[in-house]
Amino acid sequence: MVPVIPLAQVKLKKLTPPLSIIVPQRSDSTRDNVKSFAPVEDDAYEIRLKQMREEKNAGMTVGGAVNSYAELISKKADETVGFRENLKEEREQCKVGISSHGSLKRTISSWMKGNFLGSCSFGKVYEAIDQDGFFFAVKEGIVDQGINSYQSMLQLEQEILLLSKLQHENIVQYYGTERRDGNLYIFYELAQGSLASLYQTYRFQDSQVSAYTRQILKGMSYLHYNSIIHRDIKCANILVATNGCVKLADLALAVKIDPLNEEKFCMGSVYWMAPEVVNPKKPYGVSADIWSLGCTVLEMLTGEIPYRRIKWREALFKIGRGERPLIPKTLSRDARDFIDKCLQVNPEDRPSATALLQHPFIRPRS
């Protein structure tokens, strides 16, 4: 029988580091279709719960099966599982540092929820307005009881913990949190919309994709310098302001990794996953985000998600075998070369985010 976690145990205000936890399989879990994912016994939760206090001091990260919303995919095809391996990823020089205190520019007190904007990992997003007429976005997460909800709350806590310490023009700004009527609300800066919604309205040109990708790379360089993997880079998770400023959003799956360890969590959206992420026997580092970026640039230029013509289960196996999405020959030479470099099956062959900023497709046109 699934244990019930008292609501009082979910302490978000102190923002303590999330604990490691593995939860039982769900009926819609990707692992139901991939035998290479080791099954999890029903009593795994109880075993892990007993180990929580011991793991807290070790700073272990969050794992567990969690389905995230994919904006352009009809079925839920994302999940997370967790354990760690060695990291050999080279840390590169970056001008922007990480805030140790999580400087917030605004305090949200009295506010009203407005129009529904969309869904994302672990919640729904709405427009909102405060008592001073300031508009912002609010992610609403329902705080109910049970094992799956408890795992989701740990993931939300992970997102809050990371965002409160990040300060970069290409990372969505976090304002704060509030508990109300059994729900958890997370406040962010409000953007115009996602790249996924934009390319359904406009046919992007190379110059536009180049400008957007340049900003995405700057945000990624900042994250990677601080040993953070986003793990869910795709157009639906990249917001654009009216002035064209790009913001990386939805960091619910992001994780800060140990410089001496790589991740072995299977996390993200299937169509954008790197081969090493799909394979549970292979560790991965920040280069997994580079593969996802290649898929995202391909998505912007074609107006279609990668592997669109096949079901996600088949795409999962293709990616695991190292089969790349088709790069149309109709794309420009620089665009094809950029995507090709991102989609190297061997993660060690992929350039870093900082190096890709020097690619001809990205460099500003004179």
Measured distance between the N- and C-terminal CA atoms of the chain, rounded to whole angstroms:
65
Q: For the stretch 197-231, what's the b/e string if a residue is b when 16 or more beta carbons lie within 10 angstroms of its beta carbon?
A: bbbeeeebeeebbbbbbbbbbbbbbbbbbbbbbbb
| 232 part of the active site | yes
Catalytic residue among 232, 289, 340, 349: 232
- Judge contact between 201 and 243, C-beta under 8 A: no
What 8-state DSSP symbol labels residue 9? Answer: G
User: At CA 270, angle to CA 310 and CA 258, rounded to 5?
Assistant: 160
User: At CA 227, angle to CA 162 and CA 161, rounded to 5?
Assistant: 10
Torsion on CA atoms 6, 10, 13, 15, rounded to nearest 10: 160
What is each CA distance from 173 to 103, 264, 310, 345, in whole angstroms? Answer: 10, 28, 36, 33
- Judge contact between 162 and 156, C-beta under 8 A: no
Q: How far apart are CA 75 and CA 109, in angstroms?
A: 37
Burial class (CB in 10 A: 0-12, 13-18, 19+), 180: exposed
Q: How far apart are CA 150 and CA 7, in angstroms?
A: 9
What 8-state DSSP symbol labels residue 31? Answer: G
The residues annotated as belonging to the active site are 232
